[in-house]
Amino acid sequence: MPGRYLEVERKFDVGESTPPPSFDGVDGIVRVENAASESLDAVYFDTPARDLAAHRITLRRRTGGGDAGWHLKLPTGPDARTEVRAPLGAEHDPPAELLDVVLAIVRDRPLNPVARISTTRKIQLLHGADDSALAEFCDDQVTAGQGADGTVDAQRWREWELELVGDGADADLMDALCNRMLEAGARPAGHGSKLARVLDVAPTKRPGDKLHRALAEQIDQLLVWDRAVRADADDAVHQMRVTARKIRSLLQAAPDSFGLAGDASIIDELRELGNALGVARDAEVLAERYRSALDDLPPELVRGPIRERLVDGAAGRYRAGLRHALAALRLPRYFRLLHNVEALVAADPSTQEKTATGTVAAAGKKVRRAAEEARNAADRDGAIHRIRKRAKRLRYTAAATGAKKVSKRAKEVQSLLGDHQDSVVSREHLTQQAEAAHAAGEDTFTYGLLFQREADLALDCRTRLEPALRKLDKAVRKLSS
């Protein structure tokens, strides 16, 4: 797996004749070391439509300096980026392990050189009390231009960079050092990176209406969580699945607004994406649920190899599910889904503010209808699960249109019934595992304890459901009045 590094830095524009700042007397800095100058040469890659640049991502092949190689830089925060590195190698095409990180953005589009940037860099290392380096100040003379050789729209400029190094990012130290740079005559850079200055890619405009803007925001989040899933980051599968469901809920709640009346193909594809992620997520939920439940029991009540069957078994299913999900995220089918959903954002909205309120009210009526059906349903668990799905759709739609009170009440119902559904799934799984344990001659006493615990939880959820539904219904009716 490629190496990952957190880069915390700020950039400044500076005139050619401006003398470097002095960092003497800055609290925490005890020594300034002039390091050897570096000559850096980098070729940057992107799609013909500059898709990486539009997402503030850079991919380059750089020679020179102590970190020569392939660098993929991903936005992490206001001053931070995650840099994913791979060795130079003999090839001049981007390595597959870096492309996979941004595959949801690149998809099947070609990657070609879009710019070349050469930098002559003077470096000062700023050391702390224990003589460890705390920050790196770079005085860069830059020659850059578009195209593989950097000759198109060529330009030259000087800039300063201040990067924190070490394990911790000290915001106070960053501010103090940057103040010295401002006092010396620098000004905050007009672009987030050298490449952004060369390409001058315009930021993506957000739609004006609430529903389309919410859809655009959720698509951005989906791409962020896609990268996290590929890195197997904590909770990434869950968050990507939730985001796909939010997108689906928005489209289901207002199909006319997105031009989807009578066309369920995109919604069906989003459902399939959720299913692809669901195997790993469901296993993850069960593993954590069983681990917590077994830890709560007195040791003498935990009998037989139950942890191996429940916790370790679920962890194994998670790993298999993750492999399945990653395979789905590399298919042309997934790329087509992303393209089609993005196209919906660009479509002209057909609703106005008043219609957005009506959309929330309509989603609220569907929750009310599902609750009425559940009261006399033969399959009570299935009927309650339908309430949850409709409450979830209402929640996301209300949040997108600014109906905060409705969104809050819908979230309460969704969370309550999410616990109920987890209990249903867990009891089914516990029954299966208890039967397997019994067939193997193992003690099944603890399975019974866990099953009863889940049954009690489900009963408590059903008891609290009606008051939660009444509060939700009241919020929806108040919004519509």
**Environment class of residue 376 by beta-carbon count within 10 Å: exposed (0-12), middle (13-18) or buried (19+)?**
exposed
Taking residue 395's Cβ as centre, other Cβ atoms within 10 Å add up to: 26
- The CATH class given to the 210-480 domain equals mainly alpha
Please list the ranges in the chain whose pLDDT falls under 70.
Answer: 1, 167-169, 348-356
The alpha-carbon radius of gyration of the chain (Å, integer) is 27
CATH number at 3-199: 2.40.320.10
Q: By the 8 A CB rule, do 33 and 125 touch?
A: yes
- The pLDDT, as a whole number, for residue 268 is 95
Q: Give the pLDDT confidence of 140-181 residue by residue, as tens digits.
A: 999 999 999 999 999 999 999 999 987 666 889 999 999 999
According to DSSP, the residues that pair with 152 across neighbouring strands are: 146
Q: Report the alpha-carbon distance of residue 50 to residue 56 in Å, rounded.
A: 10
Phi, psi (rounded to 5 degrees) for 331: -95, 150
Q: Report the alpha-carbon distance of residue 349 to residue 261 in Å, rounded.
A: 13
Alpha helices in 67-183 (DSSP H): 96-99, 103-106, 171-183
Q: By the 8 A CB rule, do 56 and 192 touch?
A: yes
- The pLDDT, as a whole number, for residue 352 is 44
- The pLDDT, as a whole number, for residue 355 is 62
Domain coordinates of the chain in residue numbers? 3-199, 210-480
Find where tokens 């409705």 sit: 406
Instruction: Find how far residue 442's CA is from the centre of its chain.
Output: 42
